[in-house]
Structure formats: structure tokens, C-alpha cells
Amino acid sequence: MRSATRSEFRVPARSGSESAGSELEVYMLRRHGRMAFAAGMYAFPGGAVDERDCDRSIAWAGHSAAEWARRLRCDESQARALVCAAVRETFEESGVLLAGAADGLIVDDTTGDDWERDRAALVDRSLAFSDFLLQRGLVLRADLLQAWAHWITPEFEPRRYDTRFFVAVMPEGQRPRDVSGEADRVMWVRPADAVTAADEGEMAMLLPTYVSLSELARYAEPLDVLAAAAERDILTIMPRVELVEGVPMFVEPEGRGFFSVSPSDRTRSRPELSDTSPQAG
């Protein structure tokens, strides 16, 4: 079996009061149809961990790498890399930056041309994230995000990923931009609406995205999500496929949930959240 590629994703969230709605909304993008993986699928911003993400010189504030290691059930070096990658990739793909000055102030605007030049340089790897923060006098704010889930692609898949999901509230004053070179559409959407759209075949998405949205639909406000995330037991989920009444279905560990293998046919297998959500006991 080929070693799984470490990658991670984040779910920026905002209150619907900032838009026409009144409930929690999440930021999603639709991957280009030309992408080698998950083409045309809706996903959250994210990407692969870069070897420089574990650089101990990266300015850091908030929960320590040791605390994150306990939370993510990994060593400190990997925890540092995962959190750094989450912050870096979110900025690269949406323009939202979870960083601030050493005095505690959070960046409130990243829309200028100078920010865009730095973002593009991070994307093409000509600028290291540590240098980006240093040049701007910023520190990574590890206290602004929480771990949400850990999924590993089933063993039979030819392309496999070891994926960490994080959640964060979009900092006040910031706004995302349609800047991802891997997407042809971006949107804010209520989790419940995205789940319904997936059930009706209007939004194609992979199982971890669908399950995460189903779980997030239980909460009314972004701060409720952060509070729930802090209490979750982050269990590793690697589904297997079984025939259920003659239909191939993804089955979570210990049989906690059944989901259609087809990403456009989730209706018959919509999860019972009390059974499938890996909450702390």
C-alpha cells in the first residue's frame, strides 16, 4: 500500500446575519473539472502539507504545538505542520488569514494588492510562510481554529489522503475572495442547504465533506461550532465498502453509519448524526 499523502482542510464559517440569512454559513469552493482528484466536487479550502510547515521559526501564538499534538494524536512536529498548513492553505485559497500582530490584534483586511502579491508567492512556493509572517510582523494565531475530524481514504482507492479537518470563524473585517486556481466557483452556504443540494444531486461532494456538513448543520452560530469542536474526540475514520441490501455502501468503523458510495445519491443513506458524529463521551 502506498503511504497516504498528508493533507488538511479547513472550514471558514460566518454568521448568516452578515448576509441575507440568519444561520451559520460555511465557505466552499467547486474544484475545476480538469483537476486530477475530486474534479467538479464541492469542497472546503485546503491542500497538502508543505515540508516547510513544520519550521519551528514560524511565529506562533495561542495553543502550543504540544497541546495540538495531544488534540490531534500525533507528535509535535506533525501537529505544528498541520496547523500551519491549515492557516497557510486557507489564505492561499480564500484570502482569509488567521494571523495577527504580537500585541493580539487580528488582521482585519487582506484585500490590497500587496496582500495579493504575497498570496500568489505563497502559492507558487517562492515565499515561505515563515518569511511572509516575519516580513509583516505577524504571528500565526493557533487559538483561532479548532480540530474537527480526521479521515483517511479507504484502502482500495488508488489515490489516498490522510485528511484533517479544522473549523474557524472568519475574522471580523476580512472577506474571502475568489482566488483559488483550483476552483471555478466559490460560495457561502448554510450546511443544511448544502446537504439538501447533495441529496438532490445538485452539489457533488466526497463523503467526508458531506458528513462534516451534516454535523455542522446542527449548530446555529459559528461560536457554537468552535465550542463543540473543543469537546470532540477526534477519531480516525477510514470507511470500508459493504453491500447493504445489495447496494454498495460506505460503512464507518464499528458500523456507526452507512452512506451511498455514489456522491450524487446520498438520500437513502443520510446519516443519523447521533450515531455517526464522533463526539467525546
> What per-residue confidence (pLDDT) applies to 255?
46
> What per-residue confidence (pLDDT) applies to 272?
39
Whole-angstrom distance, CA of residue 2 vs CA of residue 19: 44
Per-residue pLDDT at 38 exceeds 80: no
Q: Collect all residues with Cβ–Cβ distance below 8 Å to 73 and sequence separation of at least 6.
A: 234, 236
As given in the structure block, the three cell numbers for residue 224 are 457554537
Coil, helix or strand at residue 208:
helix
> What per-residue confidence (pLDDT) applies to 207?
86
> Is there a contact between 235 and 211 (Cβ–Cβ < 8 Å)?
no
> What per-residue confidence (pLDDT) applies to 242?
67
- What domains, with CATH codes, occur in the chain? 5-233 (3.90.79.10), 239-269 (no CATH)
232: β partners: 279
Q: Name the residue with higher pLDDT: 126 or 185.
A: 126
pTM score above 0.85 = no
> What per-residue confidence (pLDDT) applies to 10?
54
- CA distances, 111 to each of 92, 95, 114, 115 (Å): 12, 8, 8, 6
Q: Name the residue with higher pLDDT: 22 or 125.
A: 125
Whole-angstrom distance, CA of residue 201 vs CA of residue 183: 19
> What per-residue confidence (pLDDT) applies to 192?
94
pLDDT tens string 182-192: 778 899 999 99
Per DSSP, the residues of 56-68 read TTS-EESS-HHHH
Alpha-helical (H) ranges within the chain are 65-72, 76-94, 113-123, 129-136, 191-199, 207-216, 222-231, 273-276
* Residue 240, φ and ψ in degrees, nearest 5: -125, 165
pLDDT tens string 196-220: 999 888 998 888 899 899 999 999 9
